[in-house]
Amino acid sequence: MTEEMLINPIEKLTEQFPADWLKADERSGYSGYIVQREHLLEFARTMRDDYGFDYLSMVTAADYLEEGFFEVVYYAYKTIGGPALVYKVQIPRTDAVVPSLIGLYPGADFQEREVWDLLGIRFDGHPDLRRILMWEGFEGHPLRKDWKEPFFEEDVKPYKSRWPEGKPVFIDKENPFDDNVQYPEGFDPDHWTPDQDTLLYAGLVKKASNEEFKTDQLVVNMGPQHPSTHGVFRMVVSLEGETIIDLKPVMGYLHRNHEKIAERNTFLQNMPFTDRLDYITSMSNNFAYALAVEKLMGVQVPERADYIRVMMAELTRIMNHYFATGFLLNDLGAYFTPSLYSIEERELILDIFEEVSGSRMMCNYFRFGGVVRDVSDHILKKIHDLVYDRLPRKLESLDAYLTNNEILRSRCEGVGVLTAEQAIALSAAGPILRASGVPYDVRRADPYSIYDRFDFDVVTGNHGDIYDRYLVRVEEIRQSIRIIKQVLRDIPAGPIMTGKPPYQVRVPAGESYGRVEGPKGEMGFYIVSNGKPNPARYHVRAPTFINLTSLAPMSRGEKVADVVVILGAIDIVLGEVDR
Amino acid sequence: MVFPCIPPNSKRCIMSPEGLTKPEYQVPDELQSQVSLTTLDRIYNWSRLNSVWPMMFGLACCAIEMIATAASRYDLARFGMEVMRPSPRQSDVMLVSGTVTKKMIPQIVRLYNQMPEPKYVIAMGACASSGGPFKGGYNVVAGVDKYIPVDVYIPGCPPTPQALLHGLITLQKKIEGESLKTVSWYQKGPSVPIPVPVLGPDLIDVRKTALIREKSKPAPETEAQEPSAGDVTDKPADGEIAAA
């Protein structure tokens, strides 16, 4: 790997490889390279080892029904910063198999399983290709364009009137079972054996039992209803005594079909749905989605709107890190008292959100080309008071009580360690990645919006343990306060929206990927438009979903009491994990 | 007739001992501060409604608002409801706080069956009430009331803490109106558990097996229909289905 390759890598990439390996993607609005399936592994390895694209951020696929192929899309980055390398593999719909990249990038694990589950593309060489969001035995692959849900009405919204001839139409009544279900023809419910998770349990690592102590291995299910799993998340833990031998996360208990619904919605109708992804950080989700669509539309955001966006995104980060810290203490056993303090600060920020957007949690505040309402001087004054007085004061007291607390340190130091190499390979993002010592922050590495104007530090840790993740979060609150202070100093007057707010946006055909550094990591939206009012493909790169890939490597060898804390330090939100 | 224990022109406060006293019974003046006369129904309901323990059970976005309601600003403890129990065996009310998915509904039904009587269910938010914005989704149950009986519906997406409190007060009012003579858990016979749905090619409500069998029959072919062999685990026999 030469220095020149590091700085200027992806120009004329086609000349570096044999002609039949890859070609540039020349469809209008598209970018990147189309790689032949046979050479995918070799190409990916060369790009990782020789060109430095060591971070596979996103794997997804799109169904091009009319053209008759699936396209598997890969977004790789360098952890030293810079734009993406996009490569795709096109495969016929009748022969949907691609080689798995899990050997090169272990972080592709869950994402490939998700593609298999929702689109039915097999990944050759994946060791554990089970369904991940739906259950084993579910009929069909829902994100295929020719698959229709039981409550199917029309292909795209807006639907026809639900009040034809003055009478309401209820979709439930159209269904023969008066419910949201459908069965394949000839299905016999009397002879159906439900899946007993055989494959799941068989996949757990087994160790020869210890002859000396006569210990036995025990498989414990935690969740989906468990007070420590932050929602409906399930872990299957294989234990020897109290030590964890293996762990497998099971998710999908909150899979509410965001992507399928979004492909029926119009572009603007999706904005409120993004709020409900990571429901603690709705503003940040809005931001990523707005960026992705704006990239396609080519609209410029007015100055004032940009400043407002940054301010709201940073307030969200403060709020999220407070919440995460409070609940980390909950998981440690300091039951509810610390989180009551953190919720108190969160409420103050929610007051601001309610004032600007009308809703406490589901803000729906961003629009393509700006924000929906202006921020009054009264709110600016409130934010000013918060960042100059209340938040720093409370943060110092949090710091004083917790950071050097003996119990906290002894429970967190050296637990759940993830080295920098592991974190990069597992595609970890956000505070998890930075606590392992990788200074990768999208705001710096690939600046979006107006983040290049602000002065702030990328916070990193040294040890990659839970304690460092806690420290990174606390320090990130300080940096966010610093950014908001600069925003308040510089925010100009002016319009908050480019042009008139449209009822229906026109999005030219093409693909785009908008990403922001959300509080939990890289939040991204991959959107394919075919020029119609609805996205042809809409995929969410959910940071906590991919961060969960590192849960098993972090937990192996730890005690069962610590796995709760390790999960708490990842800071998952199930709305985003399952989508 | 004037009753000194109830201030004139004030609404009866269910939380005060004064509110318990039934106006028809005269308590002598000198015993006013020591003795209250009431009916069994009222004292039974009064003691129950001030300690409704919710199950610590969060599904989605609404769970965050539930946490906010339990926290210091909105303070659920004022209503005797702050004791969130992680176990269904110790809880009185299940707050279904969020989208109910097909993958999750077997567990929810099972949890509901495990709760001791008297038990109540609050459907918090649009999703739990009807499917909400996600109703069209292939993995979403269009309202938890398709499977378990719901006592109070709270609209909102998510309902604000104030709305949740209003819903809980509504539940208290409902409890207050119950009578020992008619409540289901003191009737004869055991209470029938709700059959747990099965995850098939799609969610199978075992109460509707006959309908499913009939509707998904291939049109030309006539297949012999045998009754359930009982070898399928996790599934009650046909007789139970008919009874439920």
pLDDT tens by residue, B138-170: 999 988 998 999 999 999 888 999 999 999 989
Helix residue ranges per DSSP H, B98-160 = 105-114, 125-130
Closest Cβ opposite residue B107 in set A224, A227, A252: A224
Cβ-defined contact of B209 to A189 (cutoff 8 Å): yes
pLDDT of residue B227: 42
Q: Which residues of A touch B103 (CB under 8 A)?
A: 134-135, 252-253, 255
- The nearest alpha carbon in chain A to B65 belongs to A361
- The nearest CA of chain B is from the CA of A339 a distance in Å of 9
d(CA B112, CA A69): 46
**Can you give the pLDDT at residue A204?**
78
Place of tokens 């100009």: A492
Selected residues 130-189 of chain A with any CB under 8 Å from a CB in chain B: 133-135, 137-139, 142, 149-153, 171-172, 176-177, 179-189
Omega before B201 cis (within 30°)?
no
pLDDT for res B46: 85
Q: Do B215 and A176 count as a contact with CB atoms less than 8 A apart?
A: yes
Put simply, whether B101 touches A (Cβ < 8 Å) is: yes
Q: Length of chain A, please?
A: 579
Q: What is the pLDDT of residue A310?
A: 93
Measured CA to CA, the distance from residue A372 to residue A379 in angstroms comes to 15
| Residue A209, min C-alpha distance to chain B (Å) | 31
Residue B205 has pLDDT above 80, yes or no: yes
Cβ(B83)–Cβ(B181) under 8 Å? no
- In A83-197, DSSP assigns E strands to 85-92, 97-99, 122-124
Q: What is the pLDDT of residue B184?
A: 85
- The C-alpha atoms of residue B145 and residue A475 are separated, in whole angstroms, by 46
* Rounded Cα gap, residues A132 and A306, in angstroms: 37
Q: How far is CA A165 from CA A159, A162, A168, in A?
A: 16, 9, 8
Give the C-alpha separation, A374 to A304, whole Å.
9
Q: Do B142 and A172 touch (CB under 8 A)?
A: yes
pLDDT at A2: 55
Residues of B in contact with A280 (CB under 8 A): 64
Yes or no, beta carbons of B216 and A183 under 8 Å apart:
yes
**Cβ atoms within 10 Å, residue A513:** 22
Interface probe for A, chosen from B107, B108, B138 (most Cβ of A below 10 Å), is B138
CA dihedral sign, ordered B203, B209, B215, B221: positive
Q: Which of B73, B139, B223 sits opposite A256 (nearest CB)?
A: B139
Closest to B140 (Cβ–Cβ): which among A252, A256, A344?
A: A256
Q: Is the pLDDT of residue B7 over 60?
A: no
Question: Which A-chain residues 25-84 have CB contacts (< 8 A) with chain B?
Answer: none
Q: Please, what's the b/e burial string for A397-406 (b: 16 or more CB within 10 A of its CB; e: otherwise)?
A: ebeeebeeee
What is the reported pLDDT for B228? 43
- Cβ pair B13, B21 in contact under 8 A: no
State the pLDDT at residue B179. Answer: 87
Residues in chain B with CB shorter than 8 Å from the CB of A134 are 103, 139
Please indicate if any CB of chain A lies within 8 Å of the CB of B58. Answer: yes
**From A573, which residue of chain B is nearest by alpha-carbon distance?**
B60
pLDDT tens digits along A55-67: 999 999 999 988 8
| Interface list for A 358-397 with B (CB within 8 A) | 360-362
H or E stretch including A367? strand A366-367
A199 to chain B, minimum CA–CA distance in Å?
16
Between chains, do A232 and B104 touch, taking CB under 8 Å as contact? yes
> Which chain B residues have a beta carbon less than 8 Å from that of A261?
133-134, 136-137
pLDDT of the residue at B152: 93
A260 touches chain B (CB under 8 A): yes
Q: Which of A138, A189, A254 is facing B59, going by the closest CB pair?
A: A254
CB of A502 less than 8 A from some CB of B: no
A190 closest CB neighbour out of B131, B213, B215: B213
Interface of B with A in 121-160 (CB under 8 A): 127, 131, 133-142, 146, 157-158, 160
Do B200 and A194 count as a contact with CB atoms less than 8 A apart? yes
Phi, psi of A316 (to 5 degrees): -60, -40
* Rg from Cα positions in chain B: 23
The minimum CA-CA distance between A180 and chain B, rounded to whole Å, is 6
Mean pLDDT of B36-62: 85
Does the CB of B204 have a partner CB in chain A at under 8 Å? yes
CA distance A318 to A479: 9
pLDDT of residue B226: 44
- Output the pLDDT for position A213: 63
- CA-to-CA distance for B15 and B47, rounded, in angstroms? 9
CB A540 within 8 A of CB A563: no
pLDDT in tens, A117-150: 999 899 988 888 888 998 888 888 999 988 888 8
Candidates B200, B216, B229; nearest CB to A186: B216
CB interface of A with B, residues 192-251, below 8 Å: 192-196, 224-227, 231-232
Amino acid identity of residue A142, one-letter, is P
Select the residue from A118, A136, A177 to test the B interface by mutation, using most B Cβ atoms within 10 A.
Answer: A177
B199 touches chain A (CB under 8 A): yes
Neighbours of B121 (CB within 10 A): 23
Q: Over chain A, what is the mean pLDDT?
A: 87
Peptide linkage before A224 cis (omega within 30 of 0): yes
Contact A186 B98 (CB under 8 A): no
CB contact under 8 A, B61 and A192: no
Q: What is the value of ipTM here, to two decimals?
A: 0.87
Taking CA–CA distances from B228, the nearest residue in chain A reads A190
Q: For chain B, say whether A414 makes contact (Cβ under 8 Å).
A: no
Identity of the residue in B59, B71, B198 whose CB atom sits nearest the CB atom of A232 = B59
Is the pTM of the predicted complex or chain greater than 0.80? yes
- HEC string for A295-328: HHHCCCCCHHHHHHHHHHHHHHHHHHHHHHHHHH
Contacts of B57 in chain A (CB under 8 A): 225
Give me the residue label for tokens 């207050």. B176
Q: Does A262 touch chain B (CB under 8 A)?
A: no
Q: Which residues of B touch A574 (CB under 8 A)?
A: 60
Interface test with chain A among B96, B139, B162, B233, by most A beta carbons within 10 Å: B139
Q: Does A338 touch chain B (CB under 8 A)?
A: no
Cβ–Cβ contact B226 with A under 8 A:
yes
Q: Cβ separation of A150 and B138 shorter than 8 Å?
A: yes
Is B104 in contact with A254 (Cβ distance < 8 A)?
yes
What is the per-residue pLDDT across A526-578, written as a single tens digit (0 to 9) for each? Answer: 999 988 888 999 999 999 999 999 999 999 888 888 888 898 888 888 888 88
Tell me the angle at which helices B61-70 and A337-357 cross, rounded to the nearest 10 degrees: 120
Please tell me if residue B181 touches chain A, with a CB cutoff of 8 Å: no
Helix (H) or strand (E) holding A56: strand A55-64
**Residue numbers of chain A with a pLDDT score lower than 70:** 1-11, 207-215, 229
Determine how many CB atoms are found less than 10 A away from the CB of residue A455: 9
What pLDDT score was predicted for residue B222? Answer: 46
Judge: B232–A192 Cβ closer than 8 Å, yes or no.
yes
Q: How many angstroms separate the most distant Cα atoms in chain A? A: 79
Across the A:B interface, residue pairs with CB atoms under 8 Å apart total 198
